Amino acid sequence: MTVGSRIKTNRKLQKYTLKDVSKKSGLSVGYLSKLERSDKVPPLSTLQLIASTLKVSASELLEGYEPSNPRVCDDNDITIFRCKHDQIMPPTEEGYTLIPLTNNYSNRCISPFMMHIPPGRTYTFEHDAEEFNFVVKGPVKLRYKDVEYLFSEGDSFYFDSRKPHTLINENDSPVLVLSVVYMYRKF
Please answer whether residues 169 and 120 qualify as being in contact, where contact means their C-beta atoms are separated by less than 8 angstroms. yes
More confident of the two residues 48 and 179: 179
How many CB atoms neighbour CB 133 within 10 A? 23
Q: pLDDT tens for residues 49-104?
A: 898 888 887 777 876 544 344 455 556 666 666 666 555 567 777 777 877 777 65
Residue 40, phi then psi, degrees to nearest 5: -90, 155
Domain boundaries, the chain: 3-183
Using CA atoms, how far apart are residues 84 and 69, in angstroms rounded to an integer? 7
Using CA atoms, how far apart are residues 20 and 26, in angstroms rounded to an integer? 10
170 SS3 class = coil
CATH class of the domain comprising 3-183? mainly beta
